């Protein structure tokens, strides 16, 4: 599978590190990581965990900031993450 050097390095390190959680957003990289049965999350997963653990009071403002970058996710994903964060009524 064709992944860039950053994803390849991160996957290699995760394979060498016991009980690691790989933070990766690139779709090709995620598919490759799954082939190695690595535990993965992405940017949205990290933000959700921060909300669930009380490190941030609200997820929506951060998700809107993320949308201002070149990071893309669907409206369905936005709704799902907000639901998991307990902010679906926002």
**Pairing relation of β-strands 39-41 and 21-23?**
parallel
Give 3-36 pLDDT, tens digit per residue.
Answer: 999 999 999 999 999 999 999 999 999 999 999 9
Q: What is the DSSP letter of 24?
A: -
DSSP 3-state assignment of 8?
A: helix
- The helix (H) or strand (E) run that includes residue 88 is none
Give 45-69 pLDDT, tens digit per residue.
Answer: 999 999 999 999 999 999 999 989 9
């Amino acid at each position: 599978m064709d992944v860039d050097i950053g994803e390849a390095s991160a996957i290699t390190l995760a394979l060498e590190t016991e009980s690691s959680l790989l933070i990766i957003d690139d779709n090709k990289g995620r598919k490759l990581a799954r082939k190695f049965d690595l535990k993965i999350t992405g940017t949205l997963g990290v933000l959700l965990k921060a909300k669930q653990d009380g490190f941030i009071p609200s997820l929506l403002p951060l998700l809107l900031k993320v949308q201002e970058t070149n990071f893309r996710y669907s409206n369905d994903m936005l709704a799902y993450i907000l639901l998991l964060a307990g902010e679906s009524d926002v």
